[in-house]
Each structure stands twice: as structure tokens, then as C-alpha cells.
Chains A and B, each alone.
Chain A
Amino acid sequence: MSIQTLKGVWWKKVDRSEKLWLGIALAWCLVLFAMMPLWHWKGGQNPSFETYRITAADYQAKVEAYVQKTKVGEDRGFPVVAPGPGEDVYMLGRLWQWYPVVKLKKGETYRLHLSSLDLVHGFSLFPLNLNFMVLPGYEYVLPITPTEKGEVYAVCNEFCGIGHHQMVGKIIVE
């Protein structure tokens, strides 16, 4: 808007050349828009998931009960749990750890439950390319199927304070 409004009708129809450039920009927007579902299905970086509301205290109680029931050993002071094929498995993020260590079987599908007890944490599986944001107050359920044997590490990729760099969990695939 200028300091003084122009008198009369100054609006003109869009010129052909301007329409062409607008069309190119719109087409590029549609390409980028199509990339979102395409990357979701083909890229595998951002998996489909379910979300539920839950308090941090309720989720912690759930995980503690789960660990008590399914614990099969210890790894550097962390309990190791080994769910049966197709079962639900529970992990929680808190300052500054992913808890507990999980042992899975290659080729089996599990329902991985995730939540945070305090801040926003990131569940990033290394050396794989999976990134997932975990907020407190919500329980996320991700279907996962390990395809290779070995150890993968859950690295927090949302800065969560002074111990952020030490927040590394472990998933063992046998």
C-alpha cells in the first residue's frame, strides 16, 4: 500500500508471462507436496505411527511393569528386555537415556511404544535413517521389522540439555 491510495481502478489482469512463472512456481510446489507422501512410503525415514495421550507417570509405570516382566539380562546397568515375535515393546526417553535395552529377532514385526518423561527427545536410529520426535504426554506406537542382525543405536536428535550427547540407547537384533 502506498502512502496515498491510488484513485480509480488500477488492478489489471495478470499478463501471460507472469501467469507462466506463477504456473512454474505452482508446479514446483505440487512436486514438493507429492514428495511428502512419496518419501513417507518409499523413503522409510518417517514411519506411520499411532498416537495416544498418556501422562508421564502412567507411561513410566507401564514401562517399569513391562521391564519387570520381560527382563532377560543387563547391559551396562540397563535392563535388557526380549519381547516375543509380534509383541508390544516399550521404551522411554528421559534425561539422558533411552530405557531399557531391547533385544529383537530379525524379520519379526513388533509394535514399538515410545514416550518421553520430561522434554522433547528425538529417536534416531543409527546407522539406519529413521528419525522420530517423541513428546512428553503422548505415547507413540511404531510398527518395526528389523531386517539385519547386529546392534543399532537410538540417538537423541532433539537437543535436551547438558547430557544430550550421552543419550544413546541400544537395540540388539539377533
Chain B
Amino acid sequence: MADGDQQGPVTRPDAGTTAERVPLAQVFLDNIFLLLVLGLAVPIVFYTIWGLLEIASIPLAPPFELPK
């Protein structure tokens, strides 16, 4: 990877120190519990909850009529 692609530091002149803006992807990758929550939430929403909504929306069978 090219070093020039890295996000530059944000300098706070009043403090005389350098505060870095941490990208969102790094925030997740640096926290194993955030990754766990994300890894559970995505399949629960898109697989389990969506599936339960699909099942709940199936209508009852219409009344049966014998052929004449």
C-alpha cells in the first residue's frame, strides 16, 4: 500500500500535541466486542428477523371447495 494514502493527523495548536482521527473501520477492528456485536446483529436482522417476518406474513389457506 502507498504511504501517501494514509489519513493525515489533525493538529491541535493550542495543546501543542497531535490528535489523530481514527477511521470508523479501525474503531471496529480495534474492539473485539464491537466486532462481536456487529457479527451477531447483521445475521439476526437480515436472516432471523427477516425470516420470522416472512413466516408471519404467510396467509391462512382459503376455504376448500370441492370440484363440481
Specify which chain A residues have a CB less than 8 angstroms from the CB of B52 in the assembled complex. none
B17 interfacial by beta-carbon distance below 8 Å: no
Report whether A15 and B61 are in contact in the complex, using a CB–CB cutoff of 8 Å.
no
Report whether A88 and B58 are in contact in the complex, using a CB–CB cutoff of 8 Å.
no
Considering the complex, give the chain B residue whose CB is closest to the CB of A83.
B67
Given contacts A52-B60, A53-B61, contact A9 B21 (CB under 8 A): yes
**Please, what's the 1-or-0 string for B20-52, where 1 marks a CB less than 8 Å from any CB in chain A?**
111101100111100100000000000000000
Number of B interface residues in the complex (CB < 8 A): 26
B53 interfacial by beta-carbon distance below 8 Å: no
Report whether A52 and B26 are in contact in the complex, using a CB–CB cutoff of 8 Å.
no
C-alpha spacing A18/B61, complex, angstroms: 52
Specify which chain B residues have a CB less than 8 angstroms from the CB of A5 in the assembled complex. 30
Report whether A9 and B60 are in contact in the complex, using a CB–CB cutoff of 8 Å.
no
Specify which chain A residues have a CB less than 8 angstroms from the CB of B32 in the assembled complex. 1
Question: A11, A13, A52: which contacts B58 (Cβ < 8 A)?
Answer: A52
A42 interfacial by beta-carbon distance below 8 Å: no
Specify which chain B residues have a CB less than 8 angstroms from the CB of A139 in the assembled complex. 61
Report whether B66 and A69 are in contact in the complex, using a CB–CB cutoff of 8 Å.
yes
A62 interfacial by beta-carbon distance below 8 Å: yes
Question: B2, B26, B58, B67: which contacts A9 (Cβ < 8 A)?
Answer: B26
Closest beta carbon of chain A to B63's beta carbon, Å: 10
C-alpha spacing A148/B29, complex, angstroms: 59
A87 interfacial by beta-carbon distance below 8 Å: yes
A76 interfacial by beta-carbon distance below 8 Å: no
Report whether A70 and B22 are in contact in the complex, using a CB–CB cutoff of 8 Å.
no
Considering the complex, give the chain A residue whose CB is closest to the CB of B64.
A62
Considering the complex, give the chain B residue whose CB is closest to the CB of A58.
B61
* A residues in contact (CB < 8 Å) with B: 1, 5-6, 8-15, 18, 51-54, 58-59, 62, 65-66, 69-70, 83-84, 87-88, 138-139
* B residues in contact (CB < 8 Å) with A: 1-3, 5-7, 9, 20-23, 25-26, 29-32, 35, 58-62, 64, 66-67
